[in-house]
Chain A
């Protein structure tokens, strides 16, 4: 192993570390989906809500979040829309 290789390997991330980080993220995501299953209609609801909101404001796809929380006996439909800076308003 040359000096240069040594230098590079100490700076390059090991693939095992990358694997661990990716797994931690996807596993956490899939667990939360499992523990809080969302109804099938949610993606369509999200899409239509977005269409309505867009008649008035410019919003990116990723700035709307729709999900259902269980709160004891209640289920709460939570809609979160991040509005842009004022100059982007229609």
Chain B
């Protein structure tokens, strides 16, 4: 049975698109037929992060409006088998995403894919609600910082009230917490909320922690999802996240700084 996974956060710029690209790529690398959809109407960016911006002809809204069919709009990734991208449109009309339209497209995609990853726009408006509405699972992307944590909590509240599963009294959307842009050094010095603190406040299961990493900017410069940079800390952290998402047990990494590791090795805990 196909799974719809929304990548949401409330606050902007916390790493939703980076995560959508990385997780979708990771799932496809593991052999699952995966499509990643850009719900950020008017601010198309997933195509750039995935490196397929020059191959966009038709988009999500064209399909909804019947101006093209799905096959014409889906872009097949050139690096990974089983990976497809459905780009957002550049239209200014945010209401172009109707609930009925989204439902028709998702239903068709469910016949063909194992995972449908939905990259949500920032905010708590129509676009964000459309991205989460039909989801089975949600990855809440949070930075260890007060406004991001608070907005994540609002999104968690919306998942429990404004979605198809909520409105039809079905099993609630399965939630996963993903903490990104994590800087263990700053956590150790008491300037940054720890992953444990964020998890305790939001009270949903921790899927993983992605370190603040220069490899993310470099990957986006090149249009390569960071999961394909297997040498990088962020790439490895996302591969772990995908493995955990698929039900595997992987210890959390990249949560302590070298200094602390070194000291604990010397003196014990």
A5 CB to nearest chain B CB (Å): 13
Interface stretch of the complex, out of A13-21, A46-54, A70-78, A80-88: A13-21
A30 interface residue per 8 A CB criterion:
yes
B66 CB-CB contact with A under 8 Å: no
Tell me, yes or no, whether A11 is within 8 Å of chain B by CB.
no
What residues of chain B lie closer than 8 Å to A22, measured between beta carbons?
A: 146
Min CB distance, A1 to chain B, in Å? 12
Residues of B within 8 A of A26 (CB): 150
Tally B residues with Cβ within 8 Å of A.
18
User: Are B193 and A30 in contact, with the CB atoms below 8 A?
Assistant: no
CA distance A22 to B197 in the complex (A): 12
Does B153 sit at the interface, judged by CB under 8 A? yes
Question: Is B1 located at the chain interface by the 8 A CB criterion?
Answer: no
Check: A31 CB closer than 8 A to any chain B CB: yes
Cα A17 to Cα B194 with chains together (Å) = 10
- CB interface residues, A 12-63, toward B, < 8 Å: 14-17, 19-20, 22-24, 26-27, 30-31, 34
- Does B146 contact A23, Cβ atoms closer than 8 Å? yes
Q: Contacts A22-B146, A23-B201, A24-B201; is A16 near B192 (CB within 8 Å)?
A: yes
Chain A's closest residue to B190 (CB) is: A14
* B247 in contact (CB, < 8 A): no
> Given A23-B201, A27-B201, are A16 and B193 also a contact pair (CB < 8 Å)?
yes
B149 sits at the interface (CB 8 A)? yes
Please state if A20 and B154 are interface contacts (CB–CB under 8 Å). Answer: no
Say whether B190 contacts A20, CB under 8 Å.
no
Q: Which residues of B contact A23 (CB under 8 A)?
A: 146, 149-150, 193, 201
In angstroms, Cα B187 to Cα A19, docked, is 12
Report the bound CA distance from A37 to B191 in whole Å: 35
A16 adjacent to B157 (CB under 8 Å)? no
Partner of A15, one of B150, B153, B191, B201: B191
Would you call A15 and B190 a contact (CB within 8 A)?
A: yes
Quick one: which of B144-163 are within 8 Å of A by CB?
Answer: 145-146, 149-150, 153-154, 157, 161
Residues A27 and B191 in contact, CB atoms below 8 Å apart: no
Contact of A16 among B150, B153, B187, B202 (CB under 8 A): B187
> CA separation between A27 and B199, bound complex, in Å?
13
A30 to B154, CA, bound (A): 8
Rounded to whole Å, the gap between the CB of B142 and the closest CB of chain A is: 11
Besides the contacts A19-B145, A24-B201, what 10 more A-B pairs have beta carbons closer than 8 Å?
A: A16-B191, A16-B193, A16-B194, A20-B193, A23-B149, A23-B201, A27-B201, A30-B150, A30-B154, A34-B161
Interface residues of A (CB under 8 A from B): 14-17, 19-20, 22-24, 26-27, 30-31, 34
Can you pick out 8 interface pairs between chain A and chain B where the beta carbons lie within 8 Å of each other? A14-B189, A16-B187, A23-B193, A27-B150, A27-B202, A30-B154, A31-B157, A34-B157
